């Protein structure tokens, strides 16, 4: 199972690792370059206020529901929640809307999904850290978690420059597929996470 565990840690946020680095430049970039041409204050409000509130609410809800039914029940729903909302960036890149309510709503949906879905990831890290060396195992797992965001993020700018925003956001959605495949092979105790 160690190979499956490592792949899960590295691939669970593969799409998000790329999206996180390009979302703000996309919002700021000129319309001619494929962006939305928002001001820095508009982007700051969208991510620093709307996005943070949605992220926190998603995380709280994720913790609440997983305590009721456990990680095994919720992992698929949370995997969908962290990845499916990436489609809002496909929508935004194709429409290039200037409607701030629509843009903020899209960011709220994506960040809420991220908060909700990230709960499963953190619970799984806690689950695999059980045993005599919990702290060491959790430290290693969180280091791998960071690597799973860093490597895709390092390549995202280059990739976006090569293919443009529309195709990049489509690629982000496609790159979520490995997480769905690897999750099928995870073993999770049905009682883990329940209170």
Domains of the chain with bracketed CATH: 2-183 (1.20.1250.20)
Rounded average pLDDT over 111-135: 92
The tens digit of pLDDT for each residue in 151-161 reads 999 999 999 99
Confidence band of 133 (pLDDT split at 50, 70, 90): confident
Q: How far apart are CA 19 and CA 172, in angstroms?
A: 7
Residues 129, 137: contact at Cβ < 8 Å?
yes
Cα separation values, 30 from 18, 38, 90, Å: 20, 8, 17
Mean pLDDT of the chain: 94
CA proximity to 183, closest of 67, 77, 62: 77
Lowest mean pLDDT among 43-52, 77-86, 120-129, 186-195: 186-195
Give the separation between CA 158 and CA 145, rounded to whole angstroms. Answer: 22
Task: Report the percent of the chain where pLDDT is more than 70.
Answer: 100
Q: Helices (DSSP H) in 84-163: which residue ranges?
A: 87-95, 100-128, 134-163
Q: Grade residue 15 by pLDDT with cuts at 50, 70 and 90.
A: very high
* Cα gap 144→10, rounded to integer Å: 7
Angle between helices 165-174 and 134-163 (to 10 degrees): 150
């Amino acid at each position: 199972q160690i190979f499956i565990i490592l792949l899960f840690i590295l691939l669970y946020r593969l799409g998000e690792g790329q999206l996180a680095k390009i979302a703000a430049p996309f919002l700021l970039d000129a319309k001619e370059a494929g962006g939305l041409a928002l001001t820095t204050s508009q982007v700051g409000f969208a991510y620093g206020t709307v996005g943070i509130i949605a992220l926190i609410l998603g995380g709280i809800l994720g913790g609440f529901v997983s305590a009721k039914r456990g990680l095994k029940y919720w992992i698929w729903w949370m995997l969908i929640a962290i990845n499916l909302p990436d489609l809002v960036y496909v929508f935004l890149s194709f429409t290039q809307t200037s409607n701030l309510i629509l843009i903020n709503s899209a960011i709220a949906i994506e960040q809420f999904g991220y908060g909700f879905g990230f709960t499963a990831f953190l619970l799984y890290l806690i689950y695999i850290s059980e045993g005599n060396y919990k702290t060491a195992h959790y430290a290693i797992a969180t280091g791998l978690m960071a690597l799973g965001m860093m490597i895709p993020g390092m390549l995202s700018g280059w990739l976006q420059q090569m293919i443009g925003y529309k195709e990049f956001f489509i690629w982000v959605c496609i790159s979520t597929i490995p997480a769905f495949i690897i999750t099928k092979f995870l073993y999770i105790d049905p009682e883990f996470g329940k209170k």
